[in-house]
Every structure is written in C-alpha cells, then in structure tokens.
Amino acid sequence: MCTMSKRSCKYAPQVRQDSPSASSTSLEPSINSVDPHKQEDPALRTAQSSGGAASSRKCNNSATPSRGNDHDPALDDAINFNQMELFAHLILSREEMFNLAFETPDEGDGISLAVNASLESPFLLYQLLAFSACHLAFLRPERSAEFSRQAVALQSLQTRAVSLFNAAWTKVDGSNCVAVLLFSTALGHHLLADTLAKRTPTGLEAFIAHYVQCVELHRGIYTVAMSAWPLLMESHLEPVLSLSSSFTSRLPKGRHCQPIKTLLDSAEELAETDKQACMQSVHYLQIGFDAVFAKEEGEHGIRHQMIFLWSMLAPPELTRLLASRRPEVLVLLA
C-alpha cells in the first residue's frame, strides 16, 4: 500500500544477509529439543521420512523480516512437520489409539497426562510418536509407497525410546513413576497392535512367538505398577488405576467360558499347578466377556479393556504353556 501511494513505509522489511552456508542448510530439530544440551538424534532424521507422516516440509524463519537486535536466532530453526503430524495425530486421535485404556472424565484423559509427563521424560515422547506412526500406517494404506521408509522410522523411534528409558532408569520413585508406567503402557499397546497385525508365512507359529513376547512385556507393566502402587495412587493416575482395579476385581457372572473349563478339568496331562494357572486366566476372560455383553450403559466404556489387561493378569505359567503349544492353552487363547 505504501508503494502504491508513493509513501515511505516504516515497516519495510530489512534485508538480512545470510552466509552461503546458512542459506543452503535447513536446520532440522529433533525431539531432543526438550533437552537443549543434547545434539540432534540420527534416529529422528530417519523419522522425518516417516510413512505415517507427510512429505518433508520446512517452515524456515529466514524469510521473516528481521527487527535488528530483537531477532531471536532460535526462530531460524525449521519446524519438523513430519514429527508435528505424528504429534497432531496423537492428540486428535487419542480415543482411537488408546481405546483399550480406561478414561475418567473428571480427571482428563491419559494422553494429556502423558504429554505433560513426556516434557521431562523424552523416552515417553519418543514412544508416543512411534505408536502414532504405527496407527497412521494402519489408517492410510494408500500411502503404501512410503511404508518402507516408515518401517525404518518406526523402529528408530521405538528403539530410541527404549534406549532413553534404559539410560534414565534407576528406580521407580515419586518423580518418575507416572512417566514409567505411561511409557510401559504405550509400549504395551504398540507391541499388542503389532502382534495382532502380523501376517507371516509361518502362520500360527510366528504369531504365538510374538504373542508370548507381548505377554511377557505386559507382565512387566503389571510388575512396575504393583511396585509403585502407593506412589501411583497419590498421582493424577489414581482415578484411572482405581477404575481398572475395580474392574479386574469383579466376580465373573456369565457362563461363556464353561466349555473351556470342562476341557481343562478333563485334561489329564496337565499338572495341577498348570490347571490352576489356566483357570485363573479363564476367570479374567469371563470378566471380559461379561463387560462385552453387558447391557448397562455405564459398561460401554470398559467393554474391550480386558483384551489389553488379560495378557498382564495371566499367570507366568500360562506363558510357558503357550510357548510349548499346549492344545488346551491354544483353545483358551482362541
């Protein structure tokens, strides 16, 4: 407008002289920006070409008018839109991604707690982004050309998350119990989704191997929760944990599992301790069926939670029987 009216514009942008190296290089911050002392993580360079993420797009501040000494060099950093897409999907699709988790409307959802905790625990943020990429890959099969890149990015994000977790691990206390449990839970959801989605030429053999690994990890989640239970019950997770505990403490009502009970009772080759382990697993399985077929409106929010919880609550003996391909246990799993 000033040019058209032949006026001198005091807001005219000042031309900034960038060095050749600065103008030709795009800065790419990693998730490690939560820790200013860490250098860029090579794993996230791979993640920038994620199949679940958009093609690389940079929003560089070099075209923004400079205002002399008020210019903040940090604003020159590029925004990583690949990671931002994963983060946005995590926020916008939280109910779909964690639909096997408990939610309490009074205390907000678990994702809000997880994002807040991840600001001080980078391993949690890495895992949340990895699971977000996994979910996007499932939702967008039309982007099949990007799947190979995404597979590498997914593995890099998850590997980096576990590495950071192992490096930061000392013991569970009041300062980290929430982040540790949320990380374990997100990793458990991720591994369960991967296990159920796998289709290999070896069929059942490969599935059982992956599922046994999944069950062992989920049992670790249960161990973490039990070891830090008093601390967790004083945290923001208390409403969710109380709801979960109340659900798994119910007495079974239905008879959907009666045929498998009869089969286990008649299995002469099963040791008594193994039968008890199977019966305990059937106990929780029936609680899950009761929730699925419940007619009460209040039950709708917990109908499918036992899919995730069952692998945590099943006794260790069941994993051994499953790994040995005991037919009774395979029927129970089916």
| CA 290 to chain CA mean position, Å | 27
Q: pLDDT for 288-321, tens place per residue?
A: 999 888 876 555 557 778 888 888 888 888 888 8
> What spatial distance separates the first Cα and last Cα of the chain, rounded to whole Å?
72
Residue 283 reports pLDDT greater than 90: yes
pLDDT score of 286:
92
Q: Are 129 and 87 in contact (CB under 8 A)?
A: yes
pLDDT score of 42:
41
Strongest mean pLDDT among 2-11, 16-25, 75-84, 227-236: 227-236
Query: Residue 294: how many CB atoms within 10 A of its CB?
Result: 15
- Classify residue 222 as exposed, middle or buried by CB count within 10 Å of its CB (0-12, 13-18, 19+): middle
Residue 332 reports pLDDT greater than 60: yes
> Does 139 or 110 have the greater pLDDT score?
139
* C-alpha atoms less than 13 angstroms from C-alpha of 30 in its C-beta half-sphere: 21
Q: pLDDT for 201-242, tens place per residue?
A: 777 888 888 888 888 888 888 888 888 899 999 988 888 888
Residue among 327, 314, 324 nearest 215 (CA): 314
Average pLDDT estimate for 253-280: 89
Residue 17 reports pLDDT greater than 80: no
pLDDT score of 279:
92
Helix (H, G, I), strand (E, B) or coil at 215: helix
> Does 255 or 300 have the greater pLDDT score?
255
Cα gap 288→302, rounded to integer Å = 9
pLDDT score of 287:
92
pLDDT score of 214:
86
Q: pLDDT for 87-123, tens place per residue?
A: 888 888 877 777 666 665 554 567 888 888 888 888 8
Q: pLDDT for 149-164, tens place per residue?
A: 665 676 677 788 788 7
Token pair in block for residue 173: 């206390």
Q: pLDDT for 21-44, tens place per residue?
A: 433 333 333 333 334 334 444 444
Average pLDDT estimate for 45-65: 42
pLDDT grade for 258, boundaries at 50, 70 and 90: very high
> Does 194 or 56 have the greater pLDDT score?
194
CA quadruple 12, 18, 23, 26: dihedral sign: negative
Average pLDDT of the chain, as a whole number? 73
pLDDT grade for 195, boundaries at 50, 70 and 90: confident
> Does 70 or 33 have the greater pLDDT score?
70
pLDDT score of 1:
45
pTM for the predicted model, two decimal places:
0.68
Cα gap 119→219, rounded to integer Å = 26
